[in-house]
Amino acid sequence: MSKDYMKRIQALRENYMSHRVEMDILDAYYVTQGFKATEGQPWQIQKAVAMKTVYENKPIFIQDHELLVGGVAFKPRAGILNPDSACSVIEKELDTISTRKYDPFYLSEENKKLFMEEVAPYWRGKCVLDRWNAMMPEDVRTMRDGGMLYVDKKFVRGYGENTPGWRTLLAKGIAGIKKEAEEKLAALDDAHGEDVLKQIIFYKSLIISAEGIIALANRHADLAEKMAEKEADEKRRAELLKIAEVNRNVPANPPRNFYEALQSMLTYEFCIFMEQNASSYNLGRMDQYLIQYYEKDLADGTMTQDEAQELMDCFWIKISEMGLFQDGESAAFSAGYNMTVQVCAGGIDQYGNDAVNDLSYMTIQATQDTALKEPNMTVRYSISKNPDSFLRKAAECIRMGRTMPAVYHDDAGIKMLLNKGIPMSQAWDWTPCGCVETNLEGRLKSYTDIGEISMGGVVDMVMNNGRSRKTGEQISIRTGDPRDFKTFDDFMAAVKKQIDHFVHTMATMNSYLDYLSENYRPVPALSLTYPNCMVVGKDYANGGAEFNVGNGINIIGQADIINSVADIKYLVFDEKKISMDELCRALDADFEGYEHIHKMCMDAPKYGNDDPKADFCVGEIYNYLVDQIEQYDSPFGKLTAGMLPVSGNVPIGQSVGALPSGRKAWTPLADGIGATGGTDINGATALLKSISNLPHARFTQGTQMNLKIDPKLLEGERGLNSMMVLLKTQCTLDIYHTQYNVINPEILMDAQKNPGDHKDLLVRVAGYTAFFVELGKDIQDDIIQRTEIENWG
C-alpha cells in the first residue's frame, strides 16, 4: 500500500515530467554583466562578482507541493551556459540547438536575441573553448579530427567530478566559512610579496561568493513569505512559512535539523553547479553526513520516519531538475542530459566497521519512490561488513527496473584511492563520483575524465599503418605494413607503439587543459568547502585541495582490442587459418566479399566467456596502457586512467574501420568493460570472470560494467537471491563496479516506435541513467543490442 507522503511525491514527479528541456541565457547574461563591471580586476575576483551577480538577480521560483526549493535556471529542466567556459558553443549552434540530434535544448527567439546582443560580443576569443581552439597543437587536432581521440569536452564545461566538503558546509555554514576567510584576509599584508597578494585575492573571492550564496537563500525566504501572504490553504501556507524559516537559516548557518540539512546541501549544490555548468557535483555519503540530524529529530519527536522519507524524496526530485548543457558533439559522448550527481550509501566507517544505517536504506527507497534519472544512486558494498538486508534492498530496487543502484565493491574502491596516493587513514571514506570515478569528500581535486582514447582506433591504426580508413589521411604514426609482421610479437609491438602515441597526444592536450583551467577557471564557491583551500589560501583550480591528482584519461573499446588481438593470434599466427594479407584485404573491404573470413573472425574465441584463448592478452594490454599513462606528470600529479565510455562508444566508433574482431566499419565500439553485444554466450558468471582479468585497481578513475538481465531471471525469491549471489561474486572476483538494465527488449523497441507512451522509461546508458526516449536512435540501438543475460552461468 502506498504511503500518504507519496501523494506529494507523485504530484512533484508529474510536474517534473511535464517540463520541456529549455535553454536559459539569463545566467550567462548576469555572468557577463559581472565581468563587465569588474574589468581590470583579477580573473578570480571577476568570477566571484559574476556569480554573486547571478545569485542576486537570477529568476527564482517555488512550485506547488515543494518543501525544498531552488534551481539553477528559470525553470526545472533548463540548461545554463557558462560563457567564460564555452560561449561560442551557442553562437555556433544558434539555429540547431533546439533540434540537434543529441540533447536538444529549446532556445526562444527572445533568448537568442539576448545572447547575440549582450553575451556573445563580450566573450568572443576570451572563453576557454576559444582559447583552446587558438592554442591547440596540430598533432592533437589531427588525432581529434581523425576520430581517434575526443579532447574537447573539458574545454566546453568546467570543473565537476568532485565531492564538495559537505561535512564542512553542515558544520560551519557559509557564514562561518566566510568569517574564516575574513580573518585570514585581515592577517595578510600585500607588501609581503606576490604570493601573499594571490592569497589576498583568493580570500576576497571567497567572501564575495559567500555573500552571493547567502543572498540567494534569503531571496527564496522572501519569496516564500510573499507567497504565504496570498495562500488561502492553511496547510500550504504553513509549509511556505516553514520554507522561509529554513532558507533564512541555511546555508548561512549550521542546520538545526534534518530538513535544514537537506536544504543547505541543495542550495549549495545549485550554486556550485551554476559556477561551472559541469556534471558530477556529487552528494557523496549522505547517509553518513545526515544521520545525526535524522536520529536527533526522531528522538526529539519533531519528525517521523515517513516525514524524513518525504523530504529525501523531495530532495531527489530537485536534483533531477538540473540538466547539463554542452555542445552537440560532447552531448553525443554523454547523451541524455546526464548530470551524474552520485549519492552513495553503505560501505565502512573509519574503524573498518559496517557503516549501514537507516538512511542507507532510505536513499535506496527514495530512488524507488521517485523513479527518475537523478541522482545517480549507488551503494558501496563491503562483502565482509555490510548486512545481507542492505544488499537485498539494493537488489529489490534493481529488480524494479530503476537501473539503480549501481554496486561498487568497496575494497576495490579503497584500493583505487590508495593508488591515487591517498593514505588508508582517509581512503576508507572514498565516494563514487560521476559515472564510476573515485573521489574523496572535500579533499581531492582532479578532472576525472578529460577525454577519450579509442582502443578500437589503436587496432585500426595498426592494421592500416596510421591512416584513416574514412579519409585516407595519415592521422597517426606509421607502425609498418601488417603484412610484414613475421610474428605475433611484431604485431603486439605495433599495438604498443600506437598506444604510446595515443597517450602522448592526450598528455599534450592535458598540459593545455591544466594551463587554461588554472588561469581562467577559478571556483571560489566550490573552494569554500575545501578546508585546505582556506588553510593555504589557494583556489581549488590552483591545487588548493588537500590531495591533488593528475587528470584522468578515459579508455573506450576494451572488447574491441581484446578480441582483435586474440583473433589475430588465433587465426593468423597460431592456427594459420588465414594470412595477414587476406585479413587486411577483408578489413579494407569491410568484409564485403570476404564473408567466410568475417565468419571465422566472429567464431573465434571471444572476451566475455571465461575463455583463456581470448582473455590471455587482457592483463598485458591494460597494464601496459596504464604504465604509459602514469609516465606523464602534471602540476597535480601523474596522469590517471579510467574505463567509463558514457555513450561515447557510439560516436567514436563512427571513425573506426572494420576490425579483426569481426566488427564492421563505423559501428559502435563495445560499451564499458563488457563484451561486444551478442558475443558473451556463457552467462553472467563467465562474463564476470573474463572482466576480472582487467587490472581494476590501477584504473583509478573507475571501470564501468553494464549488464542487461532478462527480467524472468529475477522473478520470485529465488531470482532475488540469485541476484544477491551475483553481486557477491562481483566482490569475490575483485570487480569494482556493476550496473543493471532489467527490462524486456520488446518494451525498448516499442518505445522507439511510440515514444509518447514511454516518456519515463529509464535505461542505464553507461555510468548513468537516462530516459530512453530522450536518447538518439543510434544510442538506443546500442542499448537494445547489448547481450541480455538469460542464465547465471
Which pLDDT belongs to residue 406?
97
Q: Which of 323, 332, 267, 266 is nearest to 23 (CA)?
A: 323
> In three state form, how does the secondary structure of 734-751 look?
CCCEEEEECCCHHHHHHH
Tell me which of 239, 437, 441, 774 is the catalytic residue: 437
Q: What is the pLDDT of residues 151-194, one digit of tens each?
A: 999 999 888 899 999 999 999 999 999 999 999 999 999 999 99
Strands (E) across 124-191 are located at: 149-150
CA angle 327, 632, 499 (to 5 degrees): 75
Q: Is the dihedral of CA 589, 591, 593, 596 positive or negative?
A: positive
Question: DSSP letter string over 644-702?
Answer: --TTTHHHHHTT----TTSPPTTSPPPPTTSPPTT---S-HHHHHHHHTTS-GGG-TT-
Q: Is 451 left (phi over 0), alpha (psi -120 to 50) or beta?
A: left
Which pLDDT belongs to residue 189?
97
Which pLDDT belongs to residue 1?
62
Single-letter amino acid code for the residue at 383: I
Q: Is 360 left (phi over 0), alpha (psi -120 to 50) or beta?
A: alpha
8-state DSSP, 572: I
Domains and their CATH numbers in the chain = 124-158+442-703 (3.20.70.20)
Which pLDDT belongs to residue 633?
97
| Residue 585 CB neighbours (<10 A) | 14
Which pLDDT belongs to residue 149?
96
Tell me which of 127, 314, 344, 435 is the catalytic residue: 435
Q: Which of 296, 284, 228 is nearest to 260 (CA)?
A: 296
Low-confidence ranges of the chain (pLDDT < 70): 1
Q: Which of 514, 493, 543 is nearest to 639 (CA)?
A: 514
| Residue 225 CB neighbours (<10 A) | 16
Helix (H) or strand (E) holding 423: none
Q: Is the dihedral of CA 732, 733, 734, 740 positive or negative?
A: negative
Single-letter amino acid code for the residue at 403: T
d(CA 748, CA 155): 34
d(CA 710, CA 570): 32
* Cα Rg, the chain, nearest whole Å: 26
Which pLDDT belongs to residue 643?
96
Question: Does residue 127 carry a catalytic annotation?
Answer: no
d(CA 307, CA 295): 13
| Residue 670 CB neighbours (<10 A) | 30
d(CA 123, CA 37): 14
Distances in Å between the Cα of 189 and the Cα atoms of 106, 194, 207, 339 are: 50, 11, 17, 42
d(CA 456, CA 671): 12
State how far Cα 58 lies from the chain centre: 26
Question: Does residue 269 carry a catalytic annotation?
Answer: no
| Residue 22 CB neighbours (<10 A) | 20
Q: pTM, whole model, 2 decimals?
A: 0.97
Distances in Å between the Cα of 393 and the Cα atoms of 364, 366, 381 are: 7, 12, 12
